[in-house]
Structure formats: C-alpha cells, structure tokens
Homo-oligomer: A and B are copies of this chain.
Amino acid sequence: MIEIVTIGDELLLGHTVDTNAAYISEHLAAAGLRVTRRATVGDDAAAIHAAVNDALARTKVVITTGGLGPTSDDFTKPVIAALYGRELVVDNAYLEKLRVRWRQRGMEMPAANVTQAQIPEGAEIVRNPVGSAQGLALRDDALGLAIMLPGVPHEVRAMTDDFLIPFLLEHVSVRSEPICHHILRTTGIPESLLADRIEDIVRSVAPITVAFLPSYAGTDIRLTSWAAFDQESCVARFREAEAQLRARLGSHIYAIGRTDLSVVVGELLRARKLKVTFAESCTAGLLSKRMTDISGASDYFDAGFITYANGAKQKFLGVDESTIATHGAVSEDVAREMAVGALEAARADVAVAITGIAGPTGGSDSKPVGLVWTALAARDAVRTRSFIMPGDREEVRERAAQMALALLYDYLDE
C-alpha cells in the first residue's frame, strides 16, 4: 500500500489541476502497486511534514510530487530530509551535470539552481530523463520509504514509467497478483438506467465489484477483482461477466478497456482503408484534434474544416445561403449540407459535421443552449442525429465531439 502527497499552493488554490496524482496512481495500479490514499498540501513546511508523516505512519511508503524546484517556495527536500534526520549535501556530480545542461542551452547556470544539486545524505537519485530536477528516494527501517518527484507533468510521466515503478517493484512488497480491471465503455444510456438494467448481473458477479463511471463520453462499467485470483481466473470471470453485459446492453458497449472512441473509430477506418474528414462549427477543431491525439492518424485523416461563421460554411462547404436563412445555422439541414460539402471538398470517404449552440449565450426557446446537430455523409449514406446536451460550454463541446464520433462508429461498425 502506497500513499501519494502532492505539494503546491497552486494545487490548493485550484490554479492547477492535479494530473500527476492521476497519472502515478494509474500506472502504479497497473503494476500491482495499490495507492490507498492521496493528500494535497500547500508550499508550507509544517503541512508537508504532517502529511508525509501521516502517510508514512499508515503505509510506510509515500510518493511526493512538487516542491523540488530551484525557487524559494520549494520546501519538499529540506522538510523530508529533516523528517529522516539527514543533512542536505551538495552532490558534485549532479551539480556538474546541471552546469553542462545550461551551457548546452547557451546560458550560464543561475545561482538559484545550485540548490537543485543538494540532496539529503544517503538519498538515492531517481533519474529524470527529461528535466533538470531529479527525483530522490530516502529509506529508513523505522519510517519507511519516501520518494520525491518534481511537479512538472511530463517529467513525472517519464520518471514514473522509466524509474519509479521499477524502483518500487524492487523495494516494496507488491500484491501477489495485481488488481485486475476490466472496463466496458457505454454510450447513449444514462448511468442510473444502466445500473437498473444490469442490477442482477452486478449482484451475480460478486466478488467482482462493479462501478459506474459517468463522463461526457458516456458511462464506463468497471469490473474489479480485488480478491487474489490469479490472472487466468480474472480473465475467465471477466469474460463471463462481459458476455452477460453484452447480451443485455448490445450496441451501447462501444469499447473494452480505456480506449477512446476516436481510437476505435481510427482502427475501423484504417482496416477499411477509408479517409475521414470533419466539418466543425461549435466544436471548432476539437473533433479533429481528438482524432489526431494518437500518432498515425495520417493513415485515415488528411484535412478538416473549421467553419465557425455562416459565410465560411457557404464558402468552404457549399452550404446554401437559403438553407441557413430558412432553418438557422444549427439545424438538421445545415448539418447535412456541411457533411456533404466536406465529403466533396476533401474527397474523403466519409465526412462528419457538427453544428450546435455551445453557450452560454445564443440559445432560444426553440433552440436551447446545448442543442447539437451532427450529420454523416458517405457515398452510400447520409445520416443525422441531434441531442440537447447538458453542461457548460466546455462540456457541450466535448459531448458534441463524442456524439459525432458515435455517429461515425455506428456507421463503420455495421
């Protein structure tokens, strides 16, 4: 069992969302290392001391992020050194590395950075392959193990994968079997209706536990085996549960695992050697961006159109001015003409269009904020779909992109 303490006023003040905690938790769990509690404290020596001390008392293993930088608000190293009764000493080899790094960038190292080369006596260095703030590990039979990581997200990601997990697997007792998970992703059915519909299955699969994780992308069903089944029994039990759930839920299940719908759709496009294009109004690039989050998207995506203004819809997609005048920019007819126009303009095999009212302004009684029309055009089909999405501007846009992907998925999956 492991606890995480994330450190930084910016976290407590809500200026920064704590993505590090999520990343570390997820990757540790996948390696059979269970995080049982997290805490967040500010750049405050007493608070860091208390949180690290509490965590060590409970689990004897704590990972911290943040407060390792070169500036005066970075307390993690001196506080944890003091907790372990260690002096801070300059690591000369590391100091030289820092100097070389700065020289390579054509600059002299600022004096502030010398503190970066100080480490608690006896600390082991957790290598940082992508940044200048190294991680540190301190061990003590009485207190246990404290590992300090920096707070910069891409550094934390690199260090977690390359060094933290191997280090923990060497020094921490791991569950004999990792916690097994199996996730079924659903879309198009509200969480509580889903829960109601599969209530008997949820009961019958015990000791596997079932959790419902709603998000803008739909509701994920997570099956978890906390019991010490071996991998093989886990797989067999999950397969059985999955078969029951699929029989009950049919096409609401669009993926297994954490796979994004854009990836599922990308694989279908690649397999069928199809090119897709998007015409986006209210989402203004979000859908295309999501479709290219994964390297290799160029196999099935060449170009997209962001037509935010009515004039752009006419000029780049050939939407009829009178269609907009008659039905409004957020309408089934305009969505359809956008998709058909994008298909032609990009010479793609399939095109998906989105037009909607993301809010907070622009809604009316007949067309409220959240109304989204999507359309799909291919050589053999034109389809449309609309929903009224809940949530704020960001959420409406995210949900609209997901809804467009679902329309594309349903077409490709037939």
- Which residues does A use to contact B, with CB under 8 Å? 9-19, 21-29, 35-43, 47, 51, 69-73, 107, 110-113, 116, 130-132, 152-154, 157, 181, 183, 191-193, 195-197, 199, 202, 209-215, 220, 222, 224, 258, 278, 280, 283-289, 291-293, 295-298, 301-309, 311-312, 315-316, 346, 358-362, 390-395, 397
Which chain B residue shows the least CB distance to A113?
Answer: B192
18 pairs, CB–CB < 8 Å, chain A vs chain B: A10-B213, A12-B25, A14-B25, A14-B27, A14-B35, A15-B258, A17-B22, A36-B41, A36-B42, A37-B39, A38-B40, A152-B214, A280-B285, A285-B292, A297-B308, A302-B307, A303-B305, A303-B316
Contact B35 A12 (CB under 8 A): yes
Nearest-neighbour CB distance to chain B for A395, whole angstroms, equals 5
Nearest-neighbour CB distance to chain B for A354, whole angstroms, equals 12
Contact A16 B154 (CB under 8 A): no
Contact B211 A9 (CB under 8 A): yes
CA distance A209 to B44 in the complex (A): 12
Which residues from chain B contact A23 at a C-beta distance below 8 Å?
14
Contact A18 B22 (CB under 8 A): yes
With A39-B37, A289-B289 as given contacts, are A213 and B12 in contact (CB-CB < 8 Å)?
Answer: no
Which residues from chain B contact A112 at a C-beta distance below 8 Å?
192, 195-196, 199
Contact A394 B21 (CB under 8 A): no
Contact A17 B17 (CB under 8 A): yes
Which residues from chain B contact A37 at a C-beta distance below 8 Å?
12, 39-41, 47, 51
CA distance A152 to B306 in the complex (A): 30
Which residues from chain B contact A298 at a C-beta distance below 8 Å?
308-309
Which chain B residue shows the least CB distance to A396?
Answer: B154
Which residues from chain B contact A213 at a C-beta distance below 8 Å?
10, 15-16
Contact B181 A13 (CB under 8 A): yes
Contact B69 A295 (CB under 8 A): no
Contact B295 A302 (CB under 8 A): no
Nearest-neighbour CB distance to chain B for A99, whole angstroms, equals 13
Which residues from chain B contact A18 at a C-beta distance below 8 Å?
17-18, 21-22
Contact A283 B293 (CB under 8 A): no
Contact A309 B316 (CB under 8 A): no
Contact A292 B284 (CB under 8 A): yes
Which chain B residue shows the least CB distance to A17?
Answer: B22
Which residues from chain B contact A292 at a C-beta distance below 8 Å?
284-285, 308
Give the interface centre of A15, A29, A191, A220 by most chain B CB atoms within 10 Å. A15
Which residues from chain B contact A181 at a C-beta distance below 8 Å?
13
